[in-house]
Chain A
Amino acid sequence: MLVEQQKMESLAGRLVEEEVKGRSPWADARRRFVRNKAAMLGLVILVFVGAFALFGPYIAAWSIDELDFMVLGQVAELGGPSIETGHYFGTDDLGRDLFARVVQGTQISLMVGLVGAAIAVIVGTLWGAIAGYVGGATDNVMMRTVDILMAIPYMFVLILLLVMFGRSIAMLFFGIGLLSWLDMSRIVRGQTLSLKNMEYIEAARATGVSGFRIILRHIVPNLLGIVAVYATLLVPLMILTESFISFLGLGVQEPLTSWGALISEGAGTMQYGTLWQLLFPLFFFVITLFGFFFVGDGLRDALDPKDR
């Protein structure tokens, strides 16, 4: 369940190659992507889940924290999915509407995934680009730092952080994004090294454009392909991490919830006749992860076709 470094490197190499030839890799890629059935299916799934998160609140008949006193205490008998009661997905153990809660969980989990991946991508890109562009001792120090951080057992530190600062969405974003940028920075650095000596960049440097500006204006835009692929594949990893944290009871605060929290609640009570509490959140969780993997793989294959 990790991003395959090998393929990312191959992709990076390919993108540089295209750049050298002075061709945009995007036009062909789009055509190839549309032809990829799995990728298109993934895209449809993601659009569906996104729409569910956005418009779900308007469909829900109950709010996320209202207790249904008709159901409370007899959830296994009365709390099942039903159009009549307005609990389309049934209720949780407290008689709260599961539909509303799954919608809310989807919002949080997607947000954690996207923000976490965004942090990783931004930090990783800048770190890698700066290290690669500046080079020398700076590069050495920056990349040794990455080496050191990579040997830190990430999940253990994350648990410590959440225990120490208390649970909050902000902490979750920060903690999850914290160490996931390391791989990104390595790949970006490699690519920057290849780009750095190209003519137009040397020209820019000769006309006195500042280093930071060159990185932002000329290097980063050329990294877009790899960043896009990496980000798409990182989102599901972030969502998985969040679910583990929620399982440990260190996730978001009530009454907010997330897929991980809903799934671990549902898994705990699955033998008590309330299986819907597990299946609905798990369904959205699983299809979303599929969606991201399919789209990510499709994007990579489209940008780095093997039949070149």
Chain B
Amino acid sequence: MTRSLVSSLLLSTALAFPAVAQEAGPDGTPLAEEQVFTYRELDDIKSFDPQISTDVSGSKILRDLFEGLYNDDIDGNQVPGMATDHELSEDGKTYTFNLREANWSNGEPVMASDFVYSWRRLVDPETASEYAWYMELMGVENASAIVEGEMEPEELGIRAVDDRTLEVTIETPLPYFISMLTHPSTFPVPEAVVEELGDAWTRPGNLVGNGAYTLTEYNPGERVVRERNPEYWNDEETILDRTVTLIINDENQGLTRYLAGELDMTDIPSGQYPRLSEEYPDEAHSFPRSCSYIYWFNQGENGNPALKDERVRKALSYAIDRDIIVERILQGGQYPSYNWAHQATAGFDLPEIDYAGWTQEERNERAKELIAEAGYGPDGEPLTVTIQYNTDESHRKIAVAVSQFWKQTLGVNVELANYEWATHTDRLQDGNYEIARYAWCGDYNEASTYLDLMTSYSDHNVSGWTDETYDELMSESKTMQDPNPNYTEAEQILADNMPFAPIYQYTGVLMVDPQVRNYPFDNLMQNWYSKDLYIAAEDASSSSSAN
């Protein structure tokens, strides 16, 4: 207790003279006087409660307000957060984490029991957390049974050995378990504060966290402000004083305000990257991001019967000119896609898919043959399919282009059905569609986050397509030292059966002020932390703009 008091005193003295303490960034770059970072977010933040939050924009803020056992570094590797290190048992099922001495922003120490409380809270049916399934995905012992209400939350496979030692038991060994710990739903929350204030505990002024920043202002639909937390264990090395999230619904408005100097970071609207990268080469960035965009072919009972024919699905997929979509419509350095998992996924060998190597003419030829074989197309039965997509500029453009490819190459008539998001998603999940756009973003940086989705037992596989060999390959891969051969084989099955047409793999396309340094462009998961960023002084801009 005395120790933490002394250290917090030291830290607050350091804070009183930030200019003296920090004149240069980690690599010696001179720093700007004002260390404030402002970025745009599309929608309002759903919640500041780690166990309740569900949205990506909320996660960014939660990573600043709280800290889990591990953090991502700038390249996406896991580095110690609240845990200094851990041991793994022989059978690969029990993790023992050693926690560092750290405080909550109210000065109370962070204990192993705080993690126990938070993880139980996540799976407790009483909390009704939407992300309760994340703990099931992590395979923490008894998580599923607790979510279903068959067991008590106290029976979750987590326990505090002592104040600084945490033990977690999982059901089967999971090679990427540690990488899953950077997700906000696993972050600790202060039991006393949560119990005392209830739902109101996340308001500015009430919220107590263990992250590098505290929540100081929240104006719904307008802005979120967080400022450095002097109680943070590594506050000394934190440079950025304040991070501001501005909620700007319209991406073109966002860009205008970025160009007017009101923002340090904003998304580039689709199609604008080439022009902006020419005009502002230091500011426009495109880098891989772990999401994959596809068109589902519904083979279920409410789908179009023609789509049950593998040849039709292949023909439709082959006839899509992905290069045009990527290079002429999206224009943000996205990757044309012929497989499922994002090609930049860690340790994933991109399999050799036959049609990926063909020219578009070859693909079109093959597509025409296939559709004729199946008895459709210009000389066969007329075929009409419906593409369903949700309201969005890019989705609209891609759907229009694809409908033209199919019409011109295959003589297939296409109807476009635009629904707003909730209806689109609902129809997808009910299997009530013919062809529908979909995108999956990886939960962690490993190919199984994609490939597991196509198993017959996945909740997310809405195509009605199942394959026993595929299921076996995937369940076998869980315990393999190197699962890549199985992944390659699984991807091959998908290419042969074409339950969906891959379209493209994502890139993040951002305008970032060149003064902003250390943004993790190389982290496929795009987990960034304000504590790692800093603002370089104006005259330092030319010296090192690495990206």
Contact = CB atoms under 8 A, between A and B. Distances in A.
Contacts of A93: 271, 397
A272 B400 CA distance: 21
Given A94-B397, A268-B269, A269-B269, 4 more contacts: A94-B329, A94-B401, A253-B417, A271-B252
A286 interface: no
Contacts of A66: 404
A287 B396 CA distance: 29
Nearest to B250: A268
Interface string A204-244: 00000000000000000000000000000000000000000
Interface size class of B (residues with CB under 8 A): 20 to 34
B256 A94 contact: no
29 contacts: A65-B403, A67-B400, A69-B324, A72-B324, A72-B328, A73-B324, A73-B327, A73-B331, A76-B275, A93-B271, A94-B400, A94-B401, A96-B400, A163-B422, A166-B419, A167-B418, A167-B419, A254-B396, A254-B416, A255-B403, A255-B416, A268-B252, A268-B269, A268-B393, A269-B252, A271-B252, A271-B256, A272-B272, A272-B275
A219 to B, nearest CB: 44
Interface string A268-301: 1101110000000000000000000000000000
A73 B400 contact: no
B302 interface: no
A201 interface: no
A268 B403 CA distance: 24
Contacts of B275: 76, 272-273
B423 interface: yes
Contacts of B327: 73
Contacts of A269: 252, 269
**Main secondary structure on A side of the interface with B:** loop
Contacts of B393: 268
Interface in B58-114: none
Interface in B390-446: 391, 393, 396-397, 399-401, 403-404, 416-420, 422-423
B110 to A, nearest CB: 45
Interface string A33-69: 0000000000000000000000000000000011101
Interface of A: 65-67, 69, 72-73, 75-76, 93-94, 96, 163, 166-167, 249-250, 253-255, 268-269, 271-273
A94 B393 CA distance: 11
Interface in B514-539: none
A253 B416 contact: yes
A249 B397 CA distance: 14
Nearest to A69: B324
Given A65-B404, A254-B396, A269-B252, A73 B419 contact: no
Contact of B400 (A65, A76, A273): A65
A73 B328 contact: yes
A163 B420 CA distance: 7
A96 B275 CA distance: 20
B300 to A, nearest CB: 20
B295 to A, nearest CB: 16
Nearest to A77: B275
Contact of B423 (A166, A268, A272): A166
B410 to A, nearest CB: 15
A75 B272 CA distance: 11
Contacts of A166: 419, 423
A121 B404 CA distance: 41
A75 B252 CA distance: 17
Contacts of B324: 69, 72-73
A-B pairs, top 5 by smallest CB distance, nearest first, are A73-B328, A249-B391, A254-B416, A72-B328, A67-B404
B419 A254 contact: no
A166 B432 CA distance: 14
Interface of B: 250, 252, 256, 269, 271-272, 275, 324, 327-329, 331, 391, 393, 396-397, 399-401, 403-404, 416-420, 422-423
Contacts of B391: 249
Contacts of B417: 253
- Residue of B271, B403, B419 with highest tally of chain A CB at under 10 A: B271
A249 B420 contact: yes
A23 B328 CA distance: 67
A255 B329 contact: no
Contacts of A96: 400
Nearest to B330: A73
Nearest to A273: B275
Given A93-B271, A269-B252, A254 B401 contact: no
Nearest to B407: A65
Nearest to B399: A254
A30 B330 CA distance: 56
Contacts of A253: 416-418
Contacts of A271: 252, 256
Contacts of A254: 396, 399-400, 416, 418
Contacts of A65: 400, 403-404
A163 B328 contact: no
A249 B324 CA distance: 25
Contacts of A273: 275
A73 B423 contact: no
Nearest to A71: B328
Contacts of A69: 324, 328
A223 B222 CA distance: 51
Nearest to A168: B417
Contacts of B269: 268-269
Contacts of A268: 250, 252, 269, 393
A62 to B, nearest CB: 12
Contacts of B328: 69, 72-73
Contacts of B423: 163, 166
A207 B239 CA distance: 95
Contacts of B403: 65, 255
A253 B419 CA distance: 9
Contacts of A272: 272, 275
A76 B324 CA distance: 17
A166 B389 CA distance: 12
Contacts of B419: 166-167
Contacts of A163: 420, 422-423
A255 B393 CA distance: 13
A67 B401 contact: yes
A272 B251 CA distance: 13
A73 B329 contact: yes
Contacts of B329: 72-73, 94
A75 B328 CA distance: 10
Contacts of B272: 272
A272 B252 CA distance: 10
A290 B328 CA distance: 39
A269 B272 CA distance: 10
A85 B230 CA distance: 64
A136 B448 CA distance: 73
A105 B235 CA distance: 58
Contacts of B418: 167, 253-254
B437 to A, nearest CB: 13
Contacts of A94: 329, 397, 400-401
B409 to A, nearest CB: 13
A132 B399 CA distance: 52
A17 B404 CA distance: 61
Contacts of A72: 324, 328-329
Nearest to B271: A93
Nearest to A66: B404
Contacts of B271: 75, 93
